Amino acid sequence: MTKIAAVIGGGVIGGGWAARFALNGWNVQVFDPDPQAERKIGEVMANARRSMPGLTDVALPDEGKISFHDSISDAVAGASWIQESVPERLEIKHTTFGAIQQACDPDAVIGSSTSGFKPSELQEGMARPNQIMVAHPFNPVYLLPLVELVPGNGIDGPMVDKAKETLTSIGMYPLHLKKEIDAHVADRFLEAVWREALWLVKDGIATTEEIDNAIRYGFGIRWAQMGLFETYRVAGGEAGMKHFMAQFGPALEWPWTKLMDVPEFNDELVDLIAGQSDEQSGAYGIRDLERIRDNNLVSMMRALKQQDWGAGRLMKAHEATLRAGTVLAARADDIADASQPVLTVRRAVPLDWTDYNGHMTEAKYLQAFADATDRFMELIGCDADYIASGGSYFTAETHIRHVDEAHAGALIEVRTRVLMGAGKKMHLWHEMYEGDRLLATGEHFLLHVSLQTRKPSDPSPEIEAALVRFAQGHASLPKPDGVGRYVGAPR
């Protein structure tokens, strides 16, 4: 049976909710008086379809149907989850909840996307107050899992259980707050940081860009994978959270920030926080937490490097500096001796290249050889500028032999030779080593292609000349062991 969600208010947040539900197989019924609502949600859906399926390595359910309705009563008909995302004015929300409750199933959960109002304020004067609760998400709703779920003070029971079950079923994390408070939890942190940032800009201490860089190049990445308290537990070293509290707790009384209303720093507070920290992270030793942290940071920063953004952009620039002046930055004319294999990759095996067996996963052998091919293409002149002009080499066939294991941290090198290079064709042979130990070989056959016609074409004369030079230089080398093999060929 298809599940139905209703979205009341189709702005940025409402559209995100619609995408989250629809891409998890729910039919979504939308009410929004804005004549542009269908277009806006359609654009949000396009972004969600592009990005959200990539979160999982299992296909999402068949997409649900999104329909648009002329009244709240039509939109909530048959819905088991109703999400209110109207403007942050209490009178508008009360009117909306009243209309919803007149038409909806009494057992449906009514969640509010409000970032500021407490559930007791939303429930005031409503026919079934316990049906209404805060379900505050974070943008983009279709990617970020957190939902602050706040029923009325002290209220728990089947309706809250149903809400948590529904949110979990669509890949979200319901943070169930047992007490209500203005702005819930996460936005109170954001508000504190925001206020301090405003002072720093106003007082000329830092620009908006410098403040953003302070976050995204430092503690923001740490917070993304361990939060606040677990990060500080690691900072406390082997002595743990109590040591951290003892070392930095007195700073609460220092005039560091404009936010000086702080709790009294006493043994009771230290014991409370240290006890909760032990419960949260005590199963791990400090070295274990450090390794987990390092694995996460490397994976996240490498992902940012791939997108050329934030801390990843810094890494990319540093990488270019490391490459400059080495053979990995050379052009064909810089290599006087074209008779020997060319070094095309020299790198360490990163943490996120290893699998459940603890060694480099087979997909990363292909990536390393693909990087070697890209480097050789760049060497002979098929670089970014050339590709932008309309020509490139496309891989037509690949064969990899896995000879030995490589582990995280291993320094690997790939040496490349040209088995054949003439006209449209390029036949490469890669060998991957750790020191003198052969790890793998890769055989690649490529065709030069016009990016306008998507058909094989001749490369530029300069590229063909550089390719032929290496092909002729490598022709005198002994035939590589394993060239031309097929899967299962006798050894």
Query: Could you give the percent of the chain with pLDDT greater than 90?
Result: 63
CA 393 to chain centre: 30
Q: Find which of 51-60, 355-364, 453-462 is predicted with most confidence, using mean pLDDT.
A: 453-462
- The C-alpha atoms of residue 449 and residue 471 are separated, in whole angstroms, by 20
Contacts of 121 (CB under 8 A, 6+ apart): 90
485 domain-assigned: no
Q: What is the pLDDT of residue 255?
A: 67
pLDDT for residue 18 is more than 90: yes
- The C-alpha atoms of residue 473 and residue 422 are separated, in whole angstroms, by 13
pTM: 0.79
HEC per residue, 112-131: ECCCCCCHHHHHCCCCCHHH
Contacts of 253 (CB under 8 A, 6+ apart): 262, 265
304 domain-assigned: no
166 domain-assigned: yes
Tell me: do 381 and 258 sit in the same domain: no
Tell me: do 103 and 130 sit in the same domain: yes
Q: Which of 135, 150, 176 is the last residue of a domain?
A: 176
Tell me: do 116 and 201 sit in the same domain: no
Tell me: do 280 and 378 sit in the same domain: no
482 domain-assigned: no
Helices (H), 249-349: 267-281, 286-306, 311-323
- CATH number of the domain enclosing 80: 3.40.50.720
Contacts of 246 (CB under 8 A, 6+ apart): 270
Could you give the dihedral angle defined by the CA atoms of residues 108, 112, 118 and 121, in that order, rounded to the nearest 10 degrees?
-70
Tell me: do 19 and 167 sit in the same domain: yes
Mean pLDDT, the chain, rounded, equals 91
- CATH number of the domain enclosing 278: 1.10.1040
HEC per residue, 411-433: EEEEEEEEEEEECCEEEEEEEEE
Q: What is the pLDDT of residue 195?
A: 84
36 domain-assigned: yes
For residue 110, count CB atoms less than 10 angstroms from its CB and return exposed for 0-12, middle for 13-18, buried for 19 or more.
buried
Q: Which domain holds residue 236?
A: 187-292
Q: What is the pLDDT of residue 385?
A: 95
pLDDT for residue 447 is more than 90: yes
Tell me: do 73 and 210 sit in the same domain: no
Average the pLDDT over 204-232 and give the result.
Answer: 88
Domain count, the chain: 3
pLDDT for residue 59 is more than 90: no
Least confident of 171-185, 210-224, 283-297, 353-367: 283-297
Tell me: do 270 and 361 sit in the same domain: no
- The C-alpha atoms of residue 328 and residue 455 are separated, in whole angstroms, by 30
pLDDT for residue 377 is more than 90: yes
Least confident of 160-174, 205-219, 272-286, 401-415: 272-286
182 domain-assigned: no
- CATH number of the domain enclosing 393: 3.10.129.10
317 domain-assigned: no
What are 397's two structure tokens? 């066939």
Tell me: do 464 and 335 sit in the same domain: yes
For 188-203, the pLDDT digits (tens) are: 888 888 888 888 888 8
For 306-350, the pLDDT digits (tens) are: 888 888 888 888 888 878 878 888 899 999 999 999 999 999 998
Tell me: do 339 and 410 sit in the same domain: yes
CB count, 10 Å around CB of 424?
15
415 domain-assigned: yes
Tell me: do 166 and 231 sit in the same domain: no
- The C-alpha atoms of residue 24 and residue 230 are separated, in whole angstroms, by 32
Tell me: do 372 and 456 sit in the same domain: yes
